[in-house]
Amino acid sequence: MIYAQSPLAIGLFITFVCFVLGLSFYLARRTSSAEGYYAAGGNIHWFTNGVAFAGDYLSAASFLGICGMIATAGYDGWMYSIGYLAGWIVALFLVAEPMKRLGKYTFTDALDSKFNSKSIQLTAAISTLLVSVFYLIPQMVGAGVLVQPLLGLPHWVGVCIVGVVVTIIVATAGMASTTYVQFFKGALLLIMSTVVVVSVLVRGLSTEPVNNGMPYHDFKTMTASSTLELDDPRYTIVAGLDSTFGEAGFIKLAKDGKESIWQLNKADSGYTLEETLYVSEMPDGTKMYNGAEKQDGAFFPVGHIKELRMDGEEVAATGAVGPLAYLSALKDSTIVLWGKKYIMDGANKLTVYYQKPTPGSRVLRPGLKFKVDNATPTQTFNFVSLMLALFCGTAALPHILIRYYTVPSQAAARKSTIVAIASIGFFYILTLFLGMGAMTNGVINLTDNNMSAPLLALSFGVVLFAIISSLAFATVLGTVSGLIVAASGAVAHDLMDNFLGMNMSDAAKVRAGKIAAVVVGCIAIYLGIVFEGMNVSFLVGWAFAVAASANLPAILMLLFWKRTTGKGIAASIMVGLVTSLGLILISPDMWVRYGLLPQDAPISFNSPALISIPASILALVIVSLMTQKDVPMVASETAGA
Amino acid sequence: MGHGPAVKLDKDNASAYKTRLGVKMFVAYTIVYAIFVVINATNPKAMESIIMGQTAAVLWGFGLIALALVQAVIYNHLCTKAEANLNS
C-alpha cells in the first residue's frame, strides 16, 4: 500500500514539534530545582494532571495498536481497552493516595519510604528501567511506522526525530514540559477522535465503502468445474490442486502474463474462486505486493460489508445512524474479515490474505483472536493470564506512578485519577467505533494494521488525516517523554543519589537527570531502529506483564500487610522480574522470533502474569516472614495509617 | 535518604476511612471484572446473545467502562465528604 505525502500533514507536524519545543524552553526556568525537574514542583492542577494521565496512557499501543486490532479481529481488540481501563480501578482505589503520601520523585521512594533499604533502591530502579525500556521500544517503532506515510521518510529517520525531540523536551524542562505536552496531546486526541467517530456515524454503513473518492477494489469471484475448468477462459492455471497452493486451499492463475492467487471454496458442482491479496518474499528479502512493486499500488486496502441488514431489512446503505444503531446494524450484517496463510512457492515465501465473511454478531463478541471457543486448558490459561496482566499492569507502570508527585495533595491525586478514568474510558469507547469504522470502510492495510485509525481519517479527506497523523506522532512524543522522565529519575535519583549515596546537591540532581535522559534517549533511538517491524502492541503486553509482576505485589503488600520487610519487597521485585521475563523469553511467541517452531518452545503459553504475579507475592511473604527482625520499630506507614 | 512527598502534606485524618472504602469498591469491581473474564473464557457463545439490540459482549464492555466511572465518582464524593468532616 502506498501513501501520498500531504504538505498540510507535514506543516502540522512541524508546527506541533515547534510548539512543544517552545513550551519546553519556556518552562525550563521552572526546573532549576529537583522538585521542579522530577515532579513539576508538585503544583500541577488535578484536572490538568488528569488529562495528562490520559496523554501518558493513550500511547501508540492504544491509539494505533488497539484500533488496528479491532479493525482486523473485532471485539478481541476491544478486550484490551476494557482490561486497560479496569486497571485504573486498582490505581484509584488502592494506589493513588498512598503513592502521593509516601513518595517524592519516583515510585522507588514510596516502596523504600519506611525501610531505607539498598536492595529496594537497586531492584526497584532496575525494574523501573526495564519496564520503561520495554514500553519505549514499541513507541519508537510506532514513530517509525508513522513517519513513512506522514513525511515520506524511512523508519530510522522517524525514530531519530522522536528520540531527538523528546530528549530535548525532557532534558530542558523535565516533568513540567512533559505534563503540559501530555495535557495538550491528551485533550486534542480526545477531541479529534470524537470528530472522526462522529464522521463515521454520519457516513453510516454501506456495502460499497467510500474512501476519499477512491473506488473500492472489486474483489472478483468466478466458478470452476470439479476438474478446475474456469468459467473465465482468459485465465490459465499456473499451480493447481496438486501444488503447495492446492494443499493450502488456493490455486495460482495467470491472465495477460500477470499472476494472481485465488481461494478455492467447494461448491455444489465444482468450486467457487475468490480473489486474494498476497505478498511474496524473495530469498534476498525483496518483497512484491500482489506481483508488483509496492509503489505500483496493486496491494489494495480492504474492509467491507458483504451483506448489510438494518431493522431486519437488507439494505445497500444505512445513511447517518446513532452509535447504538450503528453497532446493532453491524451485529445483523455479514462482514468480510481477512485470514492469512503462508505458502512456499519454490524459494519464495508467500503470505496470502483471503476473505472470511463473518456474521457481525460473531465479530462483536470474543473469540476471533483469542482462542476461547472449545479452548484447551492452556489457551484458557493464556487468555485469563493476559486479562490479569492488563488489570494489574496499569497501577504498576513507573511513568504513570510518577505523575502522582506532580499534584499538591492526596485529594488532587485522587481527583486527577478520576479525570483520567473519564477521559480514557471515553476514548476506549471511541476505539470500538474507530476500529469497526476501519473494518467496514475499505481502509485497512493488511501488511500493517497499526495505521487503521489514521487511514480511516484519510477516507474523510486529507485534512483529517493530517491532523490525526500529527496527533498520533504527538502521542508517541508524549508517552516517550513520560517514560524518559521515569527512567532518568531511576538512574539519577534512585541509583546515583540513593543507592550509591552520592549525596548530590539539588542542581547536581537535575544535571544528572538531564544527562540520564540524553543517555536513555540514545538507547531508545537505537532500540527503535533495531526492532523495526515488531508489532507495536507485542512489547506493550510485555511491559504490562513485567510491571504487574515486579511492581504491583510490592506496592500492595507494603500498603496492606504490616509484616512486609525491605528484603521481602526486594525479593518480590526480583522474583517478579525474573519469572515474568524468563517465561516471556521461552514462550512460543518468542520461539517464532528466534526462527524456531512455536510448538518446540519449552512452555505452551505466552502470557506469564498468572504465574509470575503469585510467585512474586509468595516470595515477598516467605522472605518477609524470614526477616521479621528487620521490621522497623517505628509506627508502620500502611495505607490506612 | 531524600524520600517523602515533594510538597508538604497536611495530616489526613480521613486516610483510614478512605482506605477501607477503596478496598471495598475495589473488591466490588474486581468481582464484576472476574465474572466477565470467566464468562468469556468458559462460555464465549453466551456473549453473542442479543440483549436490547446489542450483543451481550458489547453491553458488558460498555457496562464495565461505565461502572468504573460511576464507582470513581461515588468514591470521590464519599472521600471528599469524609475529608471535610474529619480534617476540619
Q: How many CB atoms lie within 10 A of CB A254?
A: 15
Domain region containing B40: 15-86
Candidates B16, B33, B69; nearest CB to A640: B16
Rounded CA separation A247/A262 (Å): 13
**Grid cell in block for residue A244:** 503447495
Residue A29: count of CB within 10 angstroms of its CB = 11
Q: Report pLDDT for A538.
A: 65
**pLDDT digit string (tens) for A239-294?**
888 899 999 999 999 998 889 999 999 888 889 999 999 999 898 888 899 888 88
Q: Is residue B40 part of a domain?
A: yes
| pLDDT computed for residue B8 by the predictor | 62
Contacts of A415 in chain B (CB under 8 A): 76
- Using CA atoms, how far apart are residues A517 and A172, in angstroms rounded to an integer? 10
The reply to whether B70 touches chain A by the CB within 8 Å rule is: no
- Kindly identify which residue of chain A lies nearest to residue B29, measuring between CA atoms: A89
Contacts of B62 in chain A (CB under 8 A): 429
pLDDT tens digits, residue range A444-482?
Answer: 988 878 788 888 998 998 888 888 888 877 777 777 877
Q: Does B74 touch chain A (CB under 8 A)?
A: no
Residue B3 has its nearest CB partner, among A86, A113, A411, at: A113
Residue B4 forms contact with A (CB below 8 Å): yes
C-alpha cell read off for A519: 543517555
Residues 553-592, chain A, touching B (beta carbon < 8 A)? 560
Q: Report, as ranges of residue numbers, the positions in chain B whose pLDDT lies below 70.
A: 1-9
Which residues, 6 or more positions from A530, have their beta carbon under 8 angstroms from its beta carbon?
none
Instruction: Flag whether B1 is in a domain.
Output: no
Q: Please report, for chain A, the start and end positions of each structural domain, with discontinuous segments joined by +.
A: 7-23+43-204+377-630
- A40 Rama sector, left if φ>0, alpha if ψ -120 to 50, beta otherwise: left
For B20, the closest of A100, A418, A640 (CB atoms) is A640
pTM (two decimals) = 0.88
Query: Residue A636: what pLDDT?
Result: 44
Contacts of residue B71 in chain A, CB cutoff 8 Å?
A: 89
Pinpoint the alpha helices (H) of A551-587. Answer: 552-560, 566-585
- Count helices and strands (H / E) in chain B: 2, 2
Q: Which of A57, A181, A154 is nearest to A477 (CA)?
A: A181
Residues 6+ apart with CB under 8 A from A63: A189, A193, A453, A472, A475
Q: Is B35 an 8 Å CB contact of chain A?
A: no
Closest CA to B23 of B84, B75, B77, B60: B75
CA atoms A341, A345, A350, A356: torsion sign: negative
Identify whether the C-beta of residue A478 lies closer than 8 Å to the C-beta of residue A56.
Answer: yes
Question: Is A418 near chain B, with CB under 8 Å?
Answer: yes
CATH superfamily of A7-23+43-204+377-630: Sodium/glucose cotransporter (1.20.1730.10)
Q: Is residue B9 included in any domain, yes or no?
A: no
Burial level of A350, CB count in 10 A (0-12/13-18/19+)? Answer: buried
Nearest in space to A131 (alpha carbons), one of A546, A493, A608, A575: A546
Of A98, A384, A422, the CB nearest to B69: A422
Does some domain include residue B46?
Answer: yes
Tens digit of pLDDT for each residue in A324-364?
A: 999 999 999 999 999 998 888 888 889 999 999 999 999 99
Show the DSSP H helices in A490-535 as ranges.
506-530
Q: Say whether A365 and B20 touch across the interface (CB within 8 A).
A: no
**Is residue A635 scored above 50 in pLDDT?**
no
B11 touches chain A (CB under 8 A): no
pLDDT tens digit string along A298-307? Answer: 888 899 999 9
Whether the Cβ atoms of residue A353 and residue A361 lie closer than 8 Å to each other:
no
Residues 376-395 of chain A with CB under 8 A from chain B are 380, 383-384, 387, 391
Which of chain B's residues have a Cβ under 8 Å away from the Cβ of A641? Answer: 15-16
Q: Tell me the C-alpha to C-alpha distance, in Å, between residue A313 and each of A173, A225, A293, A363.
A: 59, 34, 43, 20
Q: What is the tally of structural domains in chain B? A: 1
pLDDT in tens, A70-117: 999 999 999 999 999 999 999 899 988 888 887 667 778 888 877 888
ipTM: 0.91
Calculate the average pLDDT of chain A.
85
Dump pLDDT digits (tens) for A402-423.
888 888 888 888 999 999 999 9
Could you tell me what percent of chain A has a pLDDT over 70?
93
